[in-house]
Amino acid sequence: MRFKPVLYALGWLLVGMGLAMLAPLLKALAVGEWRVAMGFALVLVALVFIGGSLALTLRGRGGLATRRETIFLLACIWLLFPIAAAVPIYLSGALEKPVAALFEATSGLTTTGATIFRELGETPRAIILWRAQLQWLGGLITVLGFAALIASRRPEGRGSAQPAQKQSNQARYLVLPRSTLFTVLFVYLGLSVTVLFGLWGAGVPVFDAACLAMSSVSTGGFMPRAGTIELYGAPFAEIVLGLAMFAGAVSPLWIHGLLRRPRRRRRGDSEPLWIAGAILLATVIIALHVLMVTPEPSLHAYFRALTSAFAAAASLVTTSGFAVSQKAQEALPILVVLAVTFVGAGMYSTAGGLKFRRLGTLLRSSALEIHTLIFPHSSLTSGAGGSDQHRLSAVGAVWASFALLLLATALLALVVSGEGLGLSASLLAAVSAIANAGPIYELTSTPELELAPTFAAMSPTAQLALCLGMILGRFELLALLSLFNLAYWRG
């Protein structure tokens, strides 16, 4: 393990986090929120100083060359960045308790969307912008983290050394090859700007449009004001949000490939189709429910039911959790909400959950095992491709990830149940944190949840446990477990 390249990369990332605070700082100065501006200014200077010192001291150390260095860097990011992001929220006075500020910052960076704020109308505008920025940055870090893990997959260990020239070529990049980095940035930033103008053109105020664009592309779920999306009275904005959440729930690399080669089918194309199918199915169910409780259906009512149902369905399937409309929130039973939220959306995207591709692998593996039990002499494959050893390794990794996700959810639900929550409420709170779909907890309407405490009313212990759950949901659990292997630190 080489710590200097990790610290070198971490230094530049801290500088980037500090510079990201320029936007809320300028917003606070523009509207006269002096205490808020002072908090952002102090943290900005501190992060740039600390990060710049690390980067300049360790310059010339090269980039990350191994998978374990990348995993360690990602662990540092998810543990340290929420703390840095929480400091200006606490210093601004918007939240009085440090744990509450940490919860809000962690929820933002992990694109969970759970919030402590109860009165967004009284929340400083700079803090509202910072929350949306955190989700946008968290989504970008998530996608780049997946890409870095893929790029760093190579044999490691004492007996698997690579030629010095090849290691040198890999280490000249900070974290990722420039082509991959620019591709992700181009798609992610371009999509965000497109959604911003789409929402603005649909009638959403420009500040709200910017915040919603950052939250929807990152499948975050933070609202820039109290209430639901329906209160904007802009049905076309609901369509734009739904499309933005769908785009955020698939890989930016898939979008880039689709833009460059629209007629060429690429491996893994079926996953976005399954996500789209799930959204359309949920849209039909929610729209029918909304129309059933509408007193006087009309053509306008049908159109509004479809747009709100589409946005609500996309919000649920992509683990965004936006509050779209009260009627849409009551359409699905809690078991369906738990199942859909737990599955999540696409691999290598900003969405949380188990992911559609892994669910498909589990189902194919289960079907193959059942078929083998019934017809022991038949020959079938799981469809994973590659050698038998590779297929078994891939299926084993998926089952291990599924088991770890279930275990983490059960343990978190057990901790949260100490707040006096029932079984359904505890499970929903745990799933909403680990699947990074925080608003689902407070938006799901059941008699038991009506009596359950909000995130703001929970104890600091429960809030810290939920923060850990959000981070676990944002990290690859199998990769995280490698940090606890002593052999990982050798060499």
Q: Identify the pLDDT of residue 276.
A: 93
Q: Identify the pLDDT of residue 170.
A: 44
| Confidence label for 174 from pLDDT (cuts 50, 70 and 90) | low
Tokens representing 13? 């990332």
pLDDT at 159 over 90: no
DSSP structure class, residue 231: G
* Residue range 419-466, pLDDT digits in tens: 888 888 899 999 999 999 989 888 876 666 777 888 999 999 999 999
CA distance 136 to 110: 10
Q: Rounded to the nearest 5°, which phi and psi values hold at 113?
A: 90, 0
| Confidence label for 218 from pLDDT (cuts 50, 70 and 90) | very high
* Residue range 289-312, pLDDT digits in tens: 888 887 777 888 889 899 999 999
* Residue range 84-100, pLDDT digits in tens: 999 999 999 999 899 99
pLDDT at 114 over 80: yes
CA distance 134 to 204: 21
DSSP for 71-127, written as a single string: HHHHHHHHHHHHHHHHHHHHHTTSSSSHHHHHHHHHHHHTT------S-GGGS-HHH
DSSP structure class, residue 346: -
pTM of this structure = 0.89
Could you state, in order of their start, the residue ranges of all structural domains in the chain?
A: 3-175
pLDDT at 152 over 80: no
